[in-house]
Amino acid sequence: MKKILIPIVMLSLGSGCALFTEQPERSERPDAQAPQDEVRPVARPGPASRPPSGARTADALDTTTDEERQAASAPAASGARDLGVTVASLGDPARSGFWLETPLVSAPAKGRVEFEGQSAQVDLIPIEGPESGGSRISLSAMRLIGAPLTGLPEVRVSVEG
């Protein structure tokens, strides 16, 4: 019995030693490298103001200032180009600022959204999908244009310049 038990114990101990050897970091492994043509996450522009923990209402989640709301509601600049209409759902309510994530643009740009006669200047942020796909709009922008927060309003989108 000892002759069988000793090799089993030795084999178990030997395989356990691999747990204590230094392993290369995940980023050093060649199989973990991202292909060069892969899209990588990019930090989004905009204010870094976060709502207070425990915020549950639109008023508490909307951390934009009066000055930011006034700037976003400024009249449209001449020379804006109409991109069309998109169905917009509420984006991340904890992400502050005036923005629209939309497949109507292929690069970040300044633009405007309009709903039932009310409009707001927004940062247009590209997302993948067909141009007929939906968009995500910030809580602050939805409130400024009077769009229903729980609805799927159709908003007209234009880009500056």
- Give, as one character, the DSSP assignment of residue 71: H
The backbone torsions φ and ψ at residue 20, rounded to the nearest 5 degrees and listed phi first, read -100, 0
Find where tokens 């991340």 sit. 92
Q: Which domains does the chain have, with CATH numbers?
A: 79-159 (2.40.40.10)
Q: Quick check: 155 and 115 in contact, CB under 8 A? A: yes
Helical residues (DSSP H) of the chain, grouped into ranges:
2-16, 58-61, 66-72, 139-145
Alpha-carbon gap, residue 109 to 118, rounded angstroms: 20
**59-75 pLDDT per residue, tens:** 767 778 889 888 888 88
Tens digits of residue pLDDT in 38-53: 555 544 444 446 666 6
Q: For the segment 73-85, what is each residue's pLDDT rounded down to a tens digit?
A: 888 778 899 999 9
